[in-house]
Amino acid sequence: MKVCIVGFGSVGQGVARVMEMKKDELQKEYGLDLELVAALDRSGAAINPEGLDIKQLLVTKKLTGKVSEYPEYGEEGVSGLEVLMDKVEYHCLIEVTPTNIEDGEPALSHILKAMKDGKDVVTSNKGPLALKFKEIAQAARDNGVQFKYEASVGGAMPIINFAHENLSASKIESIYGILNGTTNYILSRMVKEGSSYEQTLNEAQAMGIAETDPTQDVEGEDAACKVVILANSILKMDVTYDDVEVTGISQITPESIALAKKEGYLIKLIGEVSPESLEVSPRLVKEGSPFAVEGTLNVATLKTDLADDVTVVGKGAGSIETASAILSDLISIWKTK
């Protein structure tokens, strides 16, 4: 199966790495031979219809920061759409460009273009899903292609395919979860150290857990995107980003954390997905409850009619962890071929 990776940042490189790591196993277990025919980043592309050498590609990216420096097959300045248009023959698009929650671009155009051409799509990109879920799902149906996005919510924590497949007998009534690892790290540290929000954010930034511009994480925007994806995908609602009531964690003080703790509670940024309410806000959770996870972990409890409550926990971010979800999506697409 020939694949293109569009976006070669942390997640894109992770996907390439796991493709290389699992090469033999994929062949042996599933008879799946994944061939990377194109990789793109801001600089341009590396394209080889016979398959790129992944080790070489990763080294080139590491040394020069550009995939377009790939020997012989590098092309400077070409855009994602140009490549998907006519430059290379492929079966599945892996869309992992950075999330843009203003208009979902360029990912939205990449995804729709690939689908129109009859290609399957796997993505971790929340922007297009949070803004145009219905349109993309319709395009996938119209063109008879598969669309998988497990990695867009909770990184390695299984939730979307898990709900669709393992819980398919039950109706899922609501989902509550910690859907952002950065804020969970900050809040956990504030509990442990009694430190202020600003101090803890600085520490998280120094450790590379929070980004230089942490707005998407700390103001709850990232979690809100995930709430929208879960609402549309699992609860079959028809909602978009603006339907979510969002409050972040930047107002949380050490005093409030201390007060909560005195009564056996922790403060966590919780995403709520239910037909009555779509919300991201700081909430009180009981110490010792399933929501009392620390560090960058994500957790989600699905309330169902038959199976009662089901809770999943896992690493919400990380290059290899997120890539693992993308690789699983690729395998499940392959299995239907």
The smaller minimum CB distance to another protein, of residues 252 and 302, is found at 252
Give the tokens for residue 176: 């509550």
Candidates 81, 84, 105, 76; CA nearest to 37 is 84
Number of helical (H) and strand (E) elements in the chain, helices listed first: 13, 13
Beta-bridged to residue 286, according to DSSP, are: 265
Binding residues among 113-132 for another protein as defined by CB under 8 A: none
Which long-range CB contacts under 8 A does 194-203 form with residues at least 24 apart?
194/254, 194/257, 194/258, 195/254, 196/253, 196/254, 197/249, 197/250, 197/251, 197/252, 197/253, 197/254
Q: Structure tokens of 217?
A: 């994480």
Nearer of residues 30 and 265 to another protein, judged by Cβ = 265
- Rounded to whole angstroms, the Cα distance separating 34 from 53 reads 12
Q: Does 200 bind another protein (CB under 8 A)?
A: no
Residue 32 CB, nearest approach to another protein (Å): 41
Contacts of 316 (CB under 8 A, 6+ apart): 154, 155, 156, 157, 178, 179, 180, 181, 184, 296, 297, 298
Q: Is 251 in the site for another protein (CB under 8 A)?
A: yes
Note whether 252 binds another protein by CB under 8 A. Answer: yes
Site membership for another protein, residue 265 (CB under 8 A): yes
Q: Which residue has the tokens 């969002």?
A: 246
Supply the minimum distance, in Å, between the C-beta of residue 281 and another protein.
8
Angstrom CA distances, 38 to 72, 88, 101, 110, stand at 13, 8, 26, 14
Rounded-to-integer distance, Cα 128 and Cα 102, Å: 9
Pairwise CA distance, residues 273 & 156, whole Å: 20
CB 301 to another protein: min, Å: 9
> Least distance in Å: CB of 16 to another protein?
39
Binding status of residue 59 toward another protein by CB under 8 A: no
Which 211-250 residues touch another protein, going by CB under 8 A? 247
CB 292 → another protein: shortest distance, Å?
11
Q: Is 270 in the site for another protein (CB under 8 A)?
A: yes
Which of 167, 284, 307, 331 forms a contact with another protein (CB under 8 A)?
Answer: 284
- Choose, by CB under 8 A, the member of 176, 185, 241, 334 that binds another protein: 176
Q: How far apart are CA 254 and CA 256, in angstroms?
A: 6
Q: Binding of another protein at residue 281 (CB under 8 A)?
A: yes
Report how many residues bind another protein under the rule CB under 8 A: 22
Q: Which sequence positions are flagged as catalytic? A: 226
Pick the binder of another protein from 180, 291, 293, 302 (CB under 8 A). Answer: 291
Pick the binder of another protein from 29, 253, 295, 309 (CB under 8 A).
253
Q: Which residues bind another protein (CB under 8 A)?
A: 176, 247, 251-253, 255-256, 258-260, 262-263, 265, 267, 270, 272, 281-285, 291
